[in-house]
Amino acid sequence: MKFDTPAGTNPIDRMKVVGQPHERVEGPLKTTGTAAYAYEHQQYPGAPVYGYVVGAAIAKGRIDSIDRTAAQHMPGVLAIVTAQDLGALGFGPLGKGDKNTANLLGGPDIEHYHQAVAIVVAESFEQARAAANAVHVAYTRGQGRFDLAQEKPNAKALTGSDADTATGDFETAFAAAPVQIDQTYTTPDQNHAMMEPFATIAWWEGDALSLWTSNQMIAWNREDLATTLSLPLEKVRIMSPYVGGGFGGKLFLRSDAVMASLGAKAVGRPVKLALPRPFIMNNATHRPATIQRIRLGATRDGKLVAIGHQSWSGDLPGGGPEVATQQTKLLYAGANRMTAMRLAELDLPEGNAMRAPGEAPGLMALEIAVDEMAEKLKMDPVAFRVLNDTQVDPEKPTRPFSQRNLVRCLKEGAEHFGWHRRLATPAQVREGRWLVGMGVAAAFRNNINIASAARVRLNDQGIVTVETDMTDIGTGSYTIIAQTAAEMMGVGIDRVVVRLGDSAFPVSSGSGGQFGANSSTSGVYAACVKLREAVAQRLGYDPERAEFADGLVRADNRSATLAEAAQAGELVAEGRIEWGNLSKQFQQSTFGAHFVEAAVDSFTGEIRVRRMLAVCAAGRILNPRTARSQMIGAMTMGVGGALMEELAVDKRFGFFVNHDLAGYEVPVHADIPHQEVHFIDEADATVSPMKAKGVGELGLAGVGAAVANAVYNATGVRVRDYPITLDKHLAGLPTLT
């Protein structure tokens, strides 16, 4: 596929602005506290009031009664809304959007702990909270299912894109393989633990609903909110210009938006609502736990001949699996292969996307298994991975990768990290009481192209303004979109204004799945192509010959400024990028290699990560500064997943016990050493006019296994159940002599 402008060349390839490490254009607003997040906005009609959600105190069962008598008479209370009140407010039962939004208000049936059952609206936050605690709900508790291991035998096979896959004859090839690995690995439930809570300010003007909210996907949520409340789409406006982290938790419509909307309808005033941290853990989505069995069969010279990956996970009825096998379909060569996922019905809070869904837990298992096989073969783990590389989709050998530089990532990473100093025999390197080891893991994440649109304006001052409902969840969207428009229109980045996160703007890809950067900038590219044509025509130039550079438009020995082109009136253009059957022609993926050095205290079992290196091949890097920020954040998240993150399930009552940031541990500065990131110099001309892919999730995928492999190399104790806490290897640590 060829991506050219009317002038016949792609201006992005000039790399005057795109590809440069520009500072974040919105950075001064964030560092001075003037970038308003969802709960902080003040642009709405009238004085706001405050909402507080009442959450279910059981995980499974029915509501018998709700007594709000005491709460209704408390100071400042304006309304208490439950499912019983929907008819009086002009709503029927909540509809079911694409992301199963019917369960965002429980009653009479309760599906999970802390499911919203009411909203209390009062004049102040404190009054709303106090009254919410005074609402008495009587329940009949049902029999819940809260233990994945116990429900594993009842797990069901899946259909569609989640169905089992098979190539060749795995069982026969595995049984005949001279070298075999057959191990089971587990990963726990995890939470996004983003800094900004789920928060919404909602208000009604007649029958039209507007929200300031914290959300990654504006169009999805507008559609789902309209469906949930049975409103025409044009009657809903969602605005989310700044998002304080999401990691996938804010992809979908959540109870803060629904309950704030219902509360605002009840009182006729704007309602501000933020979910407290315990509600975030139990009311919103999380990464589901997995049980994974991996079988590898190889020849004695190290060629994989059989690759099998089975995974079990759980979710609420009607939910979906943690797709932990997806990278196994594509990462290594092997003629005989199979993957299978099974889904158990659990009555825990909803399982859904969390950064690198599938690949994060899947690689935590697969890349340990690959290391275990390398050790059994007495091969270097890097060399073993290189030997089993493939340049085509192993399940569809006629479909090549658009670009695949895994081997280069592994080799360059090994050289830079000093991998040759690693001793193959574990527990051989000591520094005093510390045991020191190195680990490696491959990184993999598919590239996804999502249709994306933008509107571009040019005014008589020569200022280019971009409008798209794309969001910035801390990833640098404002900056790379500004860079794209600047490159396309031939101006400096200081001449570009970017407006994001408003459903009044053209629908973009949104932020998620590592698709946001490439897709949204491609949409801006398409809009700028249209604007270039309009500028050239306004100036009387041949659009096919016009060149845009240095704030000028040149053609046939004539030139004019962009400002001159708009003197007769603002020029406005909209464009949209779509992808056709590109994904059928090429397998589009991103690759990398993670290297980790870890030290383990031989007396206490304490693990300290000492060095980290990520080498990534992800197409053109649109901004090395913001891309590195994404990578080191993801690498930090990987350390958390490997060593400390775990939602502890109370298997008697069905809730996550450690439901705040005191009990749910994530890495802090003291846990993380200096992190190095190296981007392979590549531009994938197949995937988009930007020739980019994504890095936000690639930086996480594989990190947990690299940490685990380093810990094993340091101690000789193999832990297959994440997180690798000291109690799991302390008894097996070698003693000092």
Which tens digit of pLDDT belongs to each residue from 492-530? Answer: 999 999 999 999 999 999 999 999 999 999 999 999 999
| Residue 654 covered by a domain | yes
Give percent of the chain above pLDDT 90.
96
The last residue of one of the domains, among 550, 578, 606, is: 578
| Residue 107 covered by a domain | yes
Tell me the pLDDT of the chain averaged across its residues: 96
| Residue 526 covered by a domain | yes
Total domains in the fold of the chain: 3
Euclidean distance between the first and the last CA atom of the chain, given in angstroms as a whole number: 64
Model confidence pTM above 0.95:
yes
| Residue 412 covered by a domain | yes
The last residue of one of the domains, among 537, 562, 578, is: 578
Contact (CB, 8 A) for 712 and 596: no
CA distances from 679 to 411, 518, 698 (A): 13, 16, 12
Contact (CB, 8 A) for 162 and 341: yes
| Residue 496, token pair as written in the block | 């570009």
Residue 1 has pLDDT above 50, yes or no: no
User: Both 213 and 99 in a single domain?
Assistant: yes
The last residue of one of the domains, among 578, 608, 641, is: 578
Contact (CB, 8 A) for 454 and 574: yes
Torsion angles phi and psi, residue 436, rounded to 5? -120, 135
Known catalytic residue at 123: no
User: Both 714 and 605 in a single domain?
Assistant: yes
Residue 2 has pLDDT above 70, yes or no: no
User: Both 138 and 212 in a single domain?
Assistant: yes
Cis, peptide link before residue 361, omega less than 30° from 0: no
Contact (CB, 8 A) for 49 and 78: yes
Residue 591 has pLDDT above 80, yes or no: yes
Which tens digit of pLDDT belongs to each residue from 623-643? Answer: 999 999 999 999 999 999 999
User: Both 553 and 506 in a single domain?
Assistant: yes
Query: Which residues span the domain enclosing 610?
Result: 371-448+585-732
User: Both 64 and 205 in a single domain?
Assistant: yes
User: Both 433 and 560 in a single domain?
Assistant: no
pLDDT at 98: 82
Nearest Cα residue to 476 out of 637, 621, 676, 353: 621
pLDDT at 424: 98
Where residue 110 sits, what CATH number does that domain have?
Answer: 3.30.365.10
Nearest Cα residue to 142 out of 104, 105, 102, 115: 115
The mean pLDDT of 253-258, rounded to a whole number, is 98
Residue 97 has pLDDT above 90, yes or no: no
pLDDT at 582: 86
| Residue 118 covered by a domain | yes
User: Both 472 and 518 in a single domain?
Assistant: yes
Query: Taking the mean position of all CA atoms in its chain, how far away is CA 711?
Result: 27
The mean pLDDT of 245-264, rounded to a whole number, is 98
The mean pLDDT of 711-722, rounded to a whole number, is 98
The CA distance from 696 to 295, in Å, is 29
Counting runs of H as helices and runs of E as strands, what totals does the chain give?
17, 32
Residue 262 has pLDDT above 60, yes or no: yes
Provide the pLDDT confidence category of residue 7 given band limits of 50, 70 and 90: very low
Residue 127 has pLDDT above 50, yes or no: yes
Provide the pLDDT confidence category of residue 4 given band limits of 50, 70 and 90: low
The mean pLDDT of 702-730, rounded to a whole number, is 98
Contact (CB, 8 A) for 454 and 525: no
The CA distance from 218 to 650, in Å, is 35
SS3 content of the chain, % helix, strand, coil (to 5): 30, 25, 45
Contact (CB, 8 A) for 493 and 505: no
Residues in the chain: 737
Burial 297-323 (b: 16+ CB within 10 A, else e): bbeeebbbbbbbbbbbbbbbeebbbbb
| Residue 237 covered by a domain | yes
Residue 3 has pLDDT above 70, yes or no: no
User: Both 437 and 490 in a single domain?
Assistant: no
Strand 496-499 relative to strand 464-467: parallel, antiparallel, unpaired? parallel
User: Both 120 and 237 in a single domain?
Assistant: yes
User: Both 392 and 473 in a single domain?
Assistant: no
Which tens digit of pLDDT belongs to each residue from 403-425? Answer: 999 999 999 999 999 999 999 99
DSSP codes of every residue in 69-82 = HHHHTSTTEEEEEE
Strand 589-601 relative to strand 434-446: parallel, antiparallel, unpaired? antiparallel
Give percent of the chain above pLDDT 70.
99
For 673, the 3-state DSSP assignment is: coil
For tokens 């938790």, what's the residue? 249
User: Both 134 and 244 in a single domain?
Assistant: yes
The CA distance from 312 to 665, in Å, is 25
Which tens digit of pLDDT belongs to each residue from 416-470? Answer: 999 999 999 999 999 999 999 999 999 999 999 999 999 999 999 999 999 999 9
User: Both 533 and 433 in a single domain?
Assistant: no
Q: Which of 375, 467, 645, 697 is labelled catalytic?
A: 697
Torsion angles phi and psi, residue 444, rounded to 5? -150, 135
| Residue 675 covered by a domain | yes
What one-character DSSP code corresponds to residue 353?
-
The mean pLDDT of 209-223, rounded to a whole number, is 98
Contact (CB, 8 A) for 197 and 40: no
pLDDT at 227: 97
| Residue 335 covered by a domain | no
Contact (CB, 8 A) for 456 and 527: yes
